[in-house]
Amino acid sequence: MIRLYDNRFGEYGQEFVRTDGDKYTFSGKDMLLKEDAFKLLDEFSGVTVKELQDESHGNLIVFAREDADLAKLPFYTLVGKRDKFRLDTGNLMGVLSLRKGDTTLKVQVQSRFDTGKEQYFLNYLLSRIYDVSFTQPVSSSDDTFWDMLLAFVFLWRFSEATTVGLYKQYHRFEYNDLDFRGRLDLDRHLKRNYPLFDRIAYSRRENTFDNPFNHLLRHAAAKVEKKWPSMLESNPNARELLTLLKQNTPSWMPGDIQRTLGHKNTLSELRHPYFAEYYEPLRQVSCMLLMDEGANVFDTPENSGETEISGVLFDGAWLWEEYLATILCDRNLKGGPYLHADPSKRKNAIYAFSPKRGPLYPDFRRPVNGDASRCDIVLDAKYKRGDSIQSKDLHQVLCYMFLTGATQGGLIFPPKTDEKDSDTAENPATINIPSGKGKYTWRCFSFRQLKTDEGGEAFIKNMQAQEEALRSFAKPPKDFDKENQSKE
């Protein structure tokens, strides 16, 4: 396992130096990296997420904005040679698993804010986004990080499946009674009922909820419940579907997992026109969760020579933006909730040209009198390192302000991780416009240093205090101006 942090590149890149044979030093620690593993690492250097998805046979799950250009996003880039090299990372986090022949390599990229043993920051953001109680943080030093990511993906897919309801499938049931309806099973009939013949052994196909596919979901849910008991229970949609699932699968047994994993209905892709959109991704993540129980998520034969790829990747920019939406889109926010852009559904767009041409999607904006095309403030979420924020980010927000008539705009940053980070100053600044056009203000908000080394309770209190500060910052322009005038 190679463990990296996001947004480490150039002079901040994570360096590996060979000391002897397959031995390297990395971040002050010794590690082994065999020749075959290095070749595999080098082979996938700079490979984009889109290319990884195309080669993964559906076993790479990626969370990113719909408008993110996955064809340009590599998970990592190797710079240098075998004796000395560095690995550069960007916004992407997660776990990528590569297997070729007998060589297996896992590359884990975690949040740059989780520098301690526990994954507080990433865990907290995922908990807020998926509406679950803060789960027990996992260590970055073992495979439970991978399980945690899969558990959150399962939760998301599982709660989304409530849109179409519980999955129903034709399944053949065997009976041995006098209520004969179906196909006579002569061999079984002779074995079980001879010599009395007081019953009839038969089978019939029934469209039922009690099927192998739903049994697979129950096994996956049972694993999540065992590790993080409150995760499924605290999400209303997931709790509702899980209750229905348990009520309608009476023949499910915990010890029947191998039989379920080997059933053709759990091994093959789901193509049902009504259920496939929601349940096929759920089938895939369930199999990934149960890999240590013997589930095979790969379509390729083991010795085909083709590299097997699986994993869960999160775009940090998407994750940060979705987290901020839980705060800024709250209906109880003073001045009213912000609109959050949704490029995937083409919702809440503004347009550069008439009639409705050139759609643009500001991250967050507050409508004026319910009119989404007119706003009083525009805010953009930035997850990048402070020293990589470019003038185009500023131009983008100024453009949004111009198109919506907003008098205030700015950026929202995560905490700095280095004093060299040059985030835009938080002090409000007046935007230069022709005189007589009114006052236009640029203002930014940055989260303070996170308390990831003081335990879960201290971390949560710190995050809640900063969320309250963000709510105060997001006040309407007139309230913001009034407050600043009183300070002056």
Ramachandran sector of residue 94 (left: φ over 0; alpha: ψ -120 to 50; beta: rest): left
Same domain, yes or no, for 475 and 339?
yes
Classify residue 409: in a domain, yes or no: yes
Same domain, yes or no, for 363 and 463?
yes
Side chain identity at 1, as an amino acid letter? Answer: M
Ramachandran sector of residue 436 (left: φ over 0; alpha: ψ -120 to 50; beta: rest): left
The pLDDT tens digits of the residues spanning 2-11 come to 989 999 998 8
Same domain, yes or no, for 355 and 422?
yes
Classify residue 391: in a domain, yes or no: yes
Same domain, yes or no, for 88 and 202?
no
Segment 266-284 shows an average pLDDT of: 91
Give the highest mean pLDDT range of 120-124, 243-247, 477-481.
Answer: 243-247
Report the pLDDT value the prediction gives residue 303, as an integer from 0 to 100. 45
- DSSP state, 118? B
Question: Percent of the chain beyond pLDDT 90?
Answer: 39
Mean pLDDT of the chain: 85
Same domain, yes or no, for 352 and 421?
yes
Report the pLDDT value the prediction gives residue 57, as an integer from 0 to 100. 78
Same domain, yes or no, for 348 and 479?
yes
Classify residue 412: in a domain, yes or no: yes
Same domain, yes or no, for 53 and 176?
no
Domain C-terminal end among 312, 347, 372: 312
Torsion on CA atoms 330, 331, 333, 336, rounded to nearest 10: 130
Find all residues with CB under 8 Å of 382, minimum gap 6, and list them.
317, 320, 389, 393, 411, 412, 413, 414
Report the pLDDT value the prediction gives residue 74, as an integer from 0 to 100. 94
Classify residue 470: in a domain, yes or no: yes
Report the pLDDT value the prediction gives residue 139, as an integer from 0 to 100. 62
Q: From residue 474, give the alpha-carbon distance in Å to each of 169, 377, 380, 422, 432.
A: 49, 9, 12, 22, 22
Domain C-terminal end among 252, 286, 312: 312
Report the pLDDT value the prediction gives residue 229, as an integer from 0 to 100. 83
Same domain, yes or no, for 108 and 174?
no
Classify residue 232: in a domain, yes or no: no
Q: Which residue has the tokens 């396992």?
A: 1
Classify residue 457: in a domain, yes or no: yes
Report the pLDDT value the prediction gives residue 300, as an integer from 0 to 100. 46
Is residue 435 over pLDDT 70?
A: no
Classify residue 238: in a domain, yes or no: no
Same domain, yes or no, for 108 and 173?
no
Same domain, yes or no, for 360 and 480?
yes
Classify residue 254: in a domain, yes or no: no
Number of domains within the chain: 3
480 vs 37: which has the higher pLDDT: 37
Q: What's the domain range around 100?
A: 1-113+307-312
Is residue 296 over pLDDT 60?
A: no
Domain C-terminal end among 312, 346, 370: 312
Q: Residue 304: which pLDDT band, with cuts at 50, 70 and 90?
A: low
The pLDDT tens digits of the residues spanning 61-84 come to 888 877 677 888 899 999 999 999
Burial class (CB in 10 A: 0-12, 13-18, 19+), 101: middle
Is residue 342 over pLDDT 80?
A: no
Report the pLDDT value the prediction gives residue 192, as an integer from 0 to 100. 86
286 vs 391: which has the higher pLDDT: 286
The pLDDT tens digits of the residues spanning 438-468 come to 789 999 998 987 777 777 788 889 999 999 9
Is residue 301 over pLDDT 50?
A: no
Report the pLDDT value the prediction gives residue 308, as an integer from 0 to 100. 87
Is residue 299 over pLDDT 70?
A: no
The pLDDT tens digits of the residues spanning 363-394 come to 999 999 888 889 999 999 998 866 555 678 88
Report the pLDDT value the prediction gives residue 118, as an integer from 0 to 100. 80
Find all residues with CB under 8 Å of 104, minimum gap 6, and list them.
97, 98
Segment 310-336 shows an average pLDDT of: 92
Same domain, yes or no, for 334 and 463?
yes
Report the pLDDT value the prediction gives residue 69, as an integer from 0 to 100. 78
243 vs 198: which has the higher pLDDT: 243
Residue 129, classed as helix, strand or coil, is helix
298 vs 480: which has the higher pLDDT: 480
Same domain, yes or no, for 77 and 179?
no
Is residue 227 over pLDDT 90?
A: no
